[in-house]
Structure 1
């Protein structure tokens, strides 16, 4: 796709090669419907939002009071509710272009920026960091515009810098203010637990399942969470299952019974009760309520 010089042109800068794809787009409050398009849903997204925007990520509302980066995995629920004339930027790419799981040793962001057990999908951009991030976004846009033969590797280098810097900031903002609770080993422990839940939640539903994967007794795992005043690991597992149920209710036409089976529940009635207990509304009621709000 081509992108004209007009900053609010709705066609993004786009890199495509074989199965690899990365795009860069700008939008304001006048293009929110376009930015909410299902066309972006299959992509990993890093969205730079200025102050004054309201949005939902996985059904949790956020209001930006300053520039903020949001990290959204494929098929994660993202809805921009309102904005301002100030320009927001969105990078979107597929796993063929860059997969954080494959490159985890390089960037160590999976389970922090994406799919973290704390359900914090954002980094607040303090002034110095905001300047660096803005430059990296613009560098990617420049490479996409030039379409030089070396553009792919340059773009990937800038993207890795965004991810690495964001991971450092996420830790500073959410973990480093509690050094007595979170040393480096504990940070890695919780990141590892979150990654395992995100991989196995459809088949493994109990604390014992994950304790076994991590080489702990179930009581040891639970006590570790309790000692750090974190949500019970059983609740984290159930919350991940219910989150996926909500996504499937919104993004597919599958029946509640089909969703229950897909999430590893042979008894749809039990699944229905669990969802109602966690969400405060039945699966059918949740689907109806969200579609009426769309």
Structure 2
């Protein structure tokens, strides 16, 4: 089995795409890129997709989400996903690099938006019927602008995606389970922590290591994670390790023992015990189950 493919923007539409931004009618996009998008893959960019019609499922990092009219999904770089549809979808999709957005908004980060500030936040929402038209107009305007050759194109695209992210953030934060608003310093620390875990989780598992990287105490770091996402720092580190373990188990040719070593566990028995404790099955059983259901 091949390693998980990581797609970049230039792979999708050589004639139309910018080097750091892409937009398309969803039906056209899925048809032109069918060989890529229906198999598990990840991206090196941010992705946002709106469904005006369609029924199916969207698997994101081993979690299954239903696709229906009004579904919107947000993906960050590195997240693994794939689609399955039982009816032909209709809508719009766009993606862009981090630099594309942050170059035009020097004092803003994509992590300001609730669906991007933490991997712990749900990567989706379902619009109400009365919200659909306004959001669809936003996506359509983005797509139209992307395929025109007018002056100040990048500037306008950046402004348009900023507007749609603001509109979607307002809707996202009205959902009961997502209403809490935390201090900007806590959210920034959480974002930096997740980036740091991404960088070092294979070799560093201790909370003290990450606290030192953020120049705060372990106690305060745990206070931040418990307040914002109700998890300990250790839980975040372990979850990141297990997510990568799942990816490698189902998409790598490496043996399970080599996979464990890659993630910093020289004792496979210890790794297997941890995996079963947290996931509920052994790594081998997880691999078999995923292949059976795929």
TM-score (norm 2): 0.74
Contact 1:13–1:145 (CA under 8 A) maintained in structure 2 = no
The one of 115, 121, 124 aligned to 1:122: 124
Partner secondary structure for residue 65 of structure 2: strand
Question: How many angstroms does 1:242 deviate by?
Answer: 0.8
Residue in structure 1 matched with residue 146 of structure 2 by the alignment: 144
Deviations 1:139-193 (A, max 9, x none): 12212333445434433332333334444544444776335xx344444443443
Deviations 1:94-117 (A, max 9, x none): 556x36699684244278423714
Deviations 1:210-240 (A, max 9, x none): 2222333223333454567812221121111
Aligned residues: 279
Deviations 1:75-122 (A, max 9, x none): 4222323444551432234556x3669968424427842371424112
Deviations 1:180-208 (A, max 9, x none): xx344444443443333334323331222
Q: Which has the higher contact order (CA 8 A, sep 6+)?
A: 2
| Cα 1:209–1:240 shift into 2, 3 Å | same
Distance in 2 of aligned mates of 1:177 and 1:119: 12
| Cα 1:208–1:172 shift into 2, 3 Å | farther
The one of 53, 58, 71 aligned to 1:55: 58
Residue in structure 2 matched with residue 284 of structure 1 by the alignment: 284
Contact 2:113–2:165 (CA under 8 A) maintained in structure 1 = no
Residue in structure 2 matched with residue 155 of structure 1 by the alignment: 157
Question: How many angstroms does 1:138 deviate by?
Answer: 0.7
Contact 1:46–1:69 (CA under 8 A) maintained in structure 2 = yes
Partner secondary structure for residue 249 of structure 1: helix
60-69 or 241-250: bigger deviation: 60-69
Partner secondary structure for residue 143 of structure 1: helix
Partner secondary structure for residue 111 of structure 2: coil
Residue in structure 2 matched with residue 275 of structure 1 by the alignment: 275
1:69 aligns with 2:72: yes
Query: Map of 1:193-212 to 2, 5 A cutoff?
Result: 193-212=193-212
Question: How many angstroms does 1:74 deviate by?
Answer: 3.6
Query: Map of 1:159-170 to 2, 5 A cutoff?
Result: 159-170=161-172
Question: How many angstroms does 1:137 deviate by?
Answer: 1.3
What's the Cα RMSD here? 3.8
Contact 1:14–1:21 (CA under 8 A) maintained in structure 2 = no
Query: Map of 1:171-190 to 2, 5 A cutoff?
Result: 171-173=173-175, 177-178=179-180, 182-190=182-190
Structure 2: state its 5+ residue gaps.
1-11
Contact 2:101–2:110 (CA under 8 A) maintained in structure 1 = no
Question: How many angstroms does 1:135 deviate by?
Answer: 1.8
Contact 1:111–1:117 (CA under 8 A) maintained in structure 2 = no
138-147 or 60-69: bigger deviation: 60-69
Residue in structure 2 matched with residue 4 of structure 1 by the alignment: none
Question: How many angstroms does 1:62 deviate by?
Answer: 1.9
Distance in 2 of aligned mates of 1:141 and 1:111: 21
Distance in 2 of aligned mates of 1:138 and 1:252: 38
Residue in structure 2 matched with residue 258 of structure 1 by the alignment: 258
Distance in 1 of aligned mates of 2:258 and 2:103: 29
